[in-house]
Amino acid sequence: MNRILVWDLPVRLGHWTLAASFAVAWLTAESESWRNVHVAAGYVFAATIAFRLAWGLVGTRYARFSSFVRGPKAVFSYLGSLLTTRPQHWVGHNPAGGWAILGLLGLGLVTAMSGIAAYNDFGGELFEELHEGAASAALALVGVHLAGVLVGSLAHRENLLRAMFTGYKNGEPVAAIRRQAWIAAGLQAAWITLGAMYLKQVVG
């Protein structure tokens, strides 16, 4: 096994932007004086999800949904292997982690869209309750995701948290991606900034 590049820059930038914006939005949710910060964080969160969905279709190998979205059989097979002395090793997201990513993106999208609707007094209390419920469900799934990262790190003897900072994991050289996608990362940063500003201007 060698240290190989797995996570491109847009994946890592998107991951930490989602984590930071969600954390800020959650911590400021109940404060009226921090409402503008809460809303701004929500706009950044929404713009980041939009880019990640697109990058999941056209990004580098392990960024694409096709590389980590697997059926229930693969998920249970992977989870079962964690109880053995030779757990399955996936270069990108493992099947269980892939489902967690989809769940987080889906709940995040519902949270963002319902939050925008509630902020503009659309739909009465319906979207407020949906917003709070989806955010709470997303937070619970974040907890599951973190537990999975810990278990995976111990099972495979590699620091998965560090990998999401550096982009490097253990694997065969042939499995590495060839580029960091710097141009895409620049476009991503611009999209997140301009997208958030545009949403702010359109919806108030």
Summarised one tens digit per residue, pLDDT across range 85-102 is: 899 999 999 999 999 999
pLDDT tens, residue by residue, 54-82: 999 999 999 999 999 999 999 999 999 99
Query: Where do the structural domains in the chain lie, given as residue ranges?
Result: 2-203
Q: Is the pLDDT of residue 121 over 70?
A: yes
Q: Copy the structure tokens of residue 76.
A: 């249970």
Identify each DSSP E strand in the chain by its residue range: 2-5, 168-171
For CA atoms 136, 137, 139, 144, the dihedral sign is: positive
Whether residue 203 has pLDDT greater than 60: no
CATH number for the domain formed by residue range(s) 2-203: 1.20.950.20
Q: CA-to-CA distance for 172 and 104, rounded, in angstroms?
A: 29
Q: Which helix (H) or strand (E) holds 62?
A: none
| Beta-bridge mates of residue 199 | none
Tokens representing 43 are: 């706009």
Query: Which pTM value belongs to this model?
Result: 0.91
CA atoms within 13 A on the CB side of 94: 25
Whether the per-residue pLDDT at 123 is higher than 80: the answer is no
Name the token pair of 95: 């099947």
